[in-house]
């Protein structure tokens, strides 16, 4: 099984997303944060589940979509994946 490593950037991104949503709805913020943390679990079994990030054109930099958010990750090795960043799909990618 593949080990998922969350970067500080990705954790901070989810925290910021939760804070922003919580300004209008604590309940929806908690639900969204939970979904964003759970979505990458599929990668433990299927590391190539996401599509290649079009802006990067690198087979090892991929993304999962959860609602309006892109979860960008890098396949580091056969047993490790790094979650790099999480952000709203309306924003430009800055990696």
- Identify the CATH number of the domain in which residue 21 sits: 3.30.2310.20
In this prediction, residues 48-66 reach a mean pLDDT of 92
pTM above 0.75, yes or no: yes
Question: Residue for token digits 């924003």?
Answer: 91
- Total domains present in the chain: 1
Indicate whether 95 belongs to any domain.
no
10 pLDDT band, cuts 50/70/90, is: very high
Indicate whether 33 belongs to any domain.
yes
User: Is residue 17 over pLDDT 70?
Assistant: yes
95 pLDDT band, cuts 50/70/90, is: low
In this prediction, residues 64-88 reach a mean pLDDT of 95
Indicate whether 94 belongs to any domain.
no
| Spatial distance between the Cα atoms of 33 and 17, rounded to a whole number of angstroms | 8
Indicate whether 61 belongs to any domain.
yes
Domain of 20, in residue numbers: 3-88
Indicate whether 69 belongs to any domain.
yes
Among 92, 7, 14, 23, smallest CA distance to 53 is for: 92
In this prediction, residues 20-43 reach a mean pLDDT of 96
Residue partners of 71: CB distance under 8 A and separation at least 6? 10, 36, 39, 40, 50, 63, 64, 65, 83, 86
């Amino acid at each position: 099984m593949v080990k998922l490593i969350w970067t500080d950037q990705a954790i901070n991104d989810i925290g910021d997303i939760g804070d922003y949503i919580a300004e209008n709805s604590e309940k929806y913020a908690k639900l969204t944060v939970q979904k964003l943390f759970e979505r990458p679990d599929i990668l433990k079994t299927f590391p190539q589940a996401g599509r290649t990030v079009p802006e990067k054109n690198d087979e090892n930099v991929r993304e999962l979509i959860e609602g309006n958010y892109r979860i960008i990750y890098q396949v580091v090795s056969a047993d490790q994946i790094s979650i790099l960043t999480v952000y709203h799909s309306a924003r430009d990618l800055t990696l």
